[in-house]
Structure 1
Amino acid sequence: MKFHLKENGMRVDFEYGTLDISGNEDYGFRPFQLMVASIAGCSASVFRKILDKQRTEVENLVITVDVERNPEEANRIERIDLHYTVTGYNLNTDKLNRNLELSRKNCSMVRSVEDSIRITESLEAVELSR
């Protein structure tokens, strides 16, 4: 990766596109947004792969994220709460929770920060009928 200085932040080009990063959201994604997005995105991707392998019939997966920051320590991220809402058919809440625990163990982003940021997960299953 090669990051380039621009007037109001940094820019990096990836295969998928260009990413602008800035402390001012008028000019790019804020670093804390990218940190939270990488944790939620990685966790959700791993969780979804596990559900797909088990042939769990998921119609929708939404993660609501609550972030606590410490303004006395450079606005450090202290806590990230991930709340999963899984909508689908024949959902087993106990099995979903076990799969969520397994996804946590296999998510590189969560594992990278788990000793410095408290990450919690909760789950809600919404059963659809046919």
Structure 2
Amino acid sequence: MKFQMKEGGFTTDLSYGQLDISGDEAYGFRPFQLLTASIAVCSGGVLRKILEKKRMHVEDIQIDTNVHRNEQEANRIEKVEVHFTIKGKGLSEQQIHKAMELTRKNCSMVQSVIPAIEVVETFEIIPGE
């Protein structure tokens, strides 16, 4: 990836489109947002593949994140909480718990940031139709 300086930040052109990055939301995505999104969506994508391979009927997955930062140390990210709301038929807590363990082991973004950043994954199941 190649980044070019622009007013208020940097930009790069990718095959999907232009990505603007800045410490100021008026000029682009903030770096901590991109890091958090990478962790959450990598986990979500891996989880989705695992559930599909196990032939589990999932209608929807929503991901909520909460970021804990340390203002005394350059506002560094110390913890990212990732909560999955999984909607589907016949899903059990035990099945999803096992899938979450596999997800953590196979998500490259999570594996890249731990142990420097604590990543906590939780889930809830909503019955599907």
Q: Tell me the TM-score normalised to structure 1 length.
A: 0.97
Matched residues in 2 for 1:53 and 1:29: separation?
Answer: 33
- Segments of structure 2 that go 5 or more residues without pairing to the other structure are none
Secondary structure, in 3 states, of the residue corresponding to 1:73?
coil
Shift of 1:63: 1.0
The alignment-based identity, stated in percent, is 51
Whether contact under 8 Å (2:84, 2:124) holds in the other structure is: yes
Matched residues in 2 for 1:23 and 1:44: separation?
Answer: 26
Matched residues in 1 for 2:123 and 2:2: separation?
Answer: 38
Secondary structure, in 3 states, of the residue corresponding to 2:102?
helix
Shift of 1:78: 0.6
Aligned to 1:113: 113
Matched residues in 2 for 1:28 and 1:128: separation?
Answer: 37
Matched residues in 2 for 1:90 and 1:116: separation?
Answer: 37
- Segments of structure 1 that go 5 or more residues without pairing to the other structure are none
Secondary structure, in 3 states, of the residue corresponding to 2:61?
strand
Aligned to 1:10: 10
Matched residues in 2 for 1:20 and 1:123: separation?
Answer: 31
Q: How does 1:1-130 map to 2 (within 5 A)?
A: 1-129=1-129
Whether contact under 8 Å (2:7, 2:27) holds in the other structure is: no
Matched residues in 2 for 1:16 and 1:7: separation?
Answer: 22
Shift of 1:94: 0.5
Shift of 1:128: 2.4
Matched residues in 1 for 2:91 and 2:127: separation?
Answer: 6
Aligned positions, number: 129
